[in-house]
A and B are shown apart, each in its own frame.
Chain A
Amino acid sequence: MSLSSLMNQFINDFSFLILAAIGLAVIFGMMKIINLAHGEFIMLGAYITTLSAQAGVPLIISIVFGAIGVGIMGYLIDRLIICRLYGRTLDSVVVTWGISMVIQQGMLIIFGPSLQGVSTPLGSVSFAGSTYSVYRILLFAISIGALFLLYLIFMKTKFGLYSRATMQNQEIARSMGVNTNRIYSMTFSIGAAFAGLTGGLYAPTMAISPTFGTGFLMQSFVTVIVGGANPLIGTSLSGGVLGIVNSILDTTWGTFFGEIGLLICAILVIRLLPLGFSGVVEKWFVRKRRM
């Protein structure tokens, strides 16, 4: 195991974990809804991107289409279905599973078992004796960019302020004139858009099929469990830590043990820090402020 191959693996794993989890983390952290259709949102993003790229749209714009398209669809799904289930966590699990069945099988019926993909752009570079895929490095940069975007949305906009207020205490936020239902719909839509973005970004690197999203599911759930309720702090910290664990296991023993390692991390964290990394960080901040 050389340091450079480890580095290469870490770049891959970190960006994969962050991008897989970010949409799920937004919806879970802000709305306490476990979105089991998350994988299907990612898959839809990949389909939209691939289809528009094949229609001649430049790849980067196709990816944006993927994010926007899935964001709109997320908004519709929320208005039609999810908004009736706010506060019913387990029912929302069941209903999002129903949604995922419909989307996955629907795509199978419409587009068949697989779709001609687009090839990975940008080639590769050699650096310090080993080759890196430029696109993979770009994904790493984008994953950090996505976290930054999340920071901007939730910390720097009025919507972000309202949504954090709603997350802390729905009743108070509502009594101060915040339309909490609209905040939830927007949040769900933003989470879906992030999932669509992820699908679009990974569309050129993987085979496109209706089960495209399944490959992201385990990683996304583990990252969110380990990260805890705060999508920004949680996702970035757990993406970093799990990325290190995962890349070491991947390069030494292979993908399977990488997955087992993630699962064990998730179980340990639920056992020891049930609020995840962000819970610990928040507690630490509270303590610091009080002293």
Chain B
Amino acid sequence: MVQGKIKTENIVAALIFFFLFICPLFIDSYSVLNISYFLSMAFLSLSLTLIWGYCGIFSFGQAVFFGIGGYFYAVLTLNLTGTSAITPLGLLLGVILGGLAAWILGYFMFYGGVNDVFVGLITLCLTLVLSTFMGQTAGSAWNIGQVSLGGFNGINGIPALELGPISLSGNNFYYFVLIILFVIYCLLKLFTHSKVGAAIVAIRENRERTKMFGYNVPKIQSLVFAAGGALASLSGILYATWGNYITPSAFALSSATIPVVLVAAGGRKNFTASIIFTVLYYWFAQGLSASGSQYALVILGLILILVTLFVPDGIIVFLFHLSDRLFFHRESKMKEVQEEHLHEKNIG
């Protein structure tokens, strides 16, 4: 838990961010655009790492907040095109709305004593219902202002973000996303070392016990869930401005579960790992779909099964620990724990 130690994770994170900051200098603009998409999706993984990895709230509902953010931004900005400063305002309000929606849902669940796998089930049902709902909004009955929700076709022509005179497209958009990602990543790292950061880990490890150390557990859970909702919503808005469209597939079952898969496979208790795995996945998936391969999902499913069976802490985290042991000769926590388990097995 000590901050700023030299270990693989920190070095890798520093190198990756350094590389991301300079890479537009020597790659073509199409790749830059692709990477901005990968980075936009990283916020969704960060949101799940925060609430699941750190706080133990297992949610399939991040897609809901992703979609809410995207649709809200689309409807607001398309209704008020031409108004100056509407796009940054839309971004800000969308993020707040995502957080608020998550807080309301969280309030009902956590204060009602709903936890563990039931949170997963409720959020899964919610995602399915919203995806059905959005799919049937094709008619003119579903216009909000001048914008039609558009059923399965979704909403097109969503305006890009504009910061004053600068339109955020191409490299500008890339740097905008990257800077936000860097800032949020650093904030999350700092947060995990804060008082509340320690409390959410305690809640993950033992909810009932943590109440008896004087923590208002449902309140903390609702707030963390809200923060996760805000991050997911941010991801949705960046996605909508990146491709200028959003469709109900944002709420589809696959969208709901992909973050779970990525975070579980990369390392659910580690922000760096989930960013890395997310970017790698989207890169890999895009490569495969570009080459027309149908095997992407099969491979991904197999990876998921194998990782859960053999490296339950996540593959990137496993590599971090391995390298820590090789290069920094440090007894990592994980190893100590594993040895203890071995020890217990030998006695038992």
Contacts and interface: CB of A to CB of B under 8 A. Distances in A.
A84 B298 contact: no
B260 A98 contact: no
Contacts of A262: 125
A95 B308 contact: yes
B118 A221 contact: no
19 contacts: A89-B116, A95-B304, A95-B305, A95-B308, A95-B309, A99-B305, A101-B261, A101-B298, A105-B296, A109-B295, A109-B298, A256-B136, A259-B128, A263-B129, A266-B125, A270-B112, A271-B108, A271-B112, A274-B114
Interface in A71-112: 81, 84-85, 89-91, 93-95, 97-102, 104-106, 108-109
Contacts of B298: 101-102, 105-106, 109
A112 B264 CA distance: 30
Interface centre among A90, A100, A108, A266 (most CB of B within 10 A): A90
A217 interface: yes
A101 B300 contact: yes
B120 A97 contact: no
B225 to A, nearest CB: 15
A99 B113 CA distance: 30
A78 B301 CA distance: 16
A42 interface: no
Contact of A267 (B58, B122, B294, B304): B122
Contact of A102 (B112, B305, B309): B305
A34 interface: yes
Contacts of B116: 89-90
Interface in A243-291: 256, 259-260, 262-263, 266-267, 270-271, 274
Contact of B117 (A85, A89, A259, A263): A89
A266 B108 CA distance: 13
B117 A93 contact: yes
Interface string B230-254: 0000000000000000000000010
B297 A98 contact: no
B58 A270 contact: no
A270 B260 contact: no
Interface centre among B108, B304, B312 (most CB of A within 10 A): B304
Contacts of A270: 109, 112, 114, 118, 121-122
B108 A267 contact: yes
A225 interface: yes
B301 A98 contact: yes
Contact of A263 (B126, B260, B312): B126
Interface residues of B, number: 39
A214 interface: yes
B14 to A, nearest CB: 30
A145 to B, nearest CB: 28
Contact of B261 (A97, A109, A256, A259): A97
A90 B113 CA distance: 18
Interface of A: 34, 36, 81, 84-85, 89-91, 93-95, 97-102, 104-106, 108-109, 214, 217-218, 221-222, 225, 256, 259-260, 262-263, 266-267, 270-271, 274
Given A104-B297, A270-B112, A271-B114, A98 B129 contact: no
B124 interface: yes
Contacts of A81: 305, 309
Contacts of B196: none
A256 B302 CA distance: 34
A105 B126 contact: no
A256 B131 CA distance: 11
A169 to B, nearest CB: 19
A138 B126 CA distance: 32
Contacts of A218: 125, 128-129
Given A85-B308, A101-B304, A267-B108, A256 B133 contact: yes
Nearest to B308: A95
Sorted nearest first, the 9 A-B pairs with minimum C-beta distance are A101-B301, A98-B304, A102-B301, A105-B297, A98-B305, A271-B112, A218-B128, A98-B301, A95-B308
A218 to B, nearest CB: 4
Nearest to B120: A93
B169 interface: no
B113 to A, nearest CB: 6
A228 to B, nearest CB: 11
Given A256-B136, A271-B112, A94 B264 contact: yes
Interface in B86-137: 108-109, 112-114, 116-118, 120-122, 124-126, 128-129, 132-133, 136
B257 interface: yes
A274 B111 CA distance: 13
A221 B301 contact: no
A36 B136 CA distance: 25
Contact of A221 (B124, B300, B309): B124
A40 to B, nearest CB: 10
Contacts of B296: 105
Given A85-B308, A93-B117, A98 B294 contact: no
A93 B112 CA distance: 23
A171 to B, nearest CB: 14
Contacts of B58: 90, 93
A89 B114 CA distance: 16
Contacts of A89: 116-117
Interface in B269-300: 294-298, 300
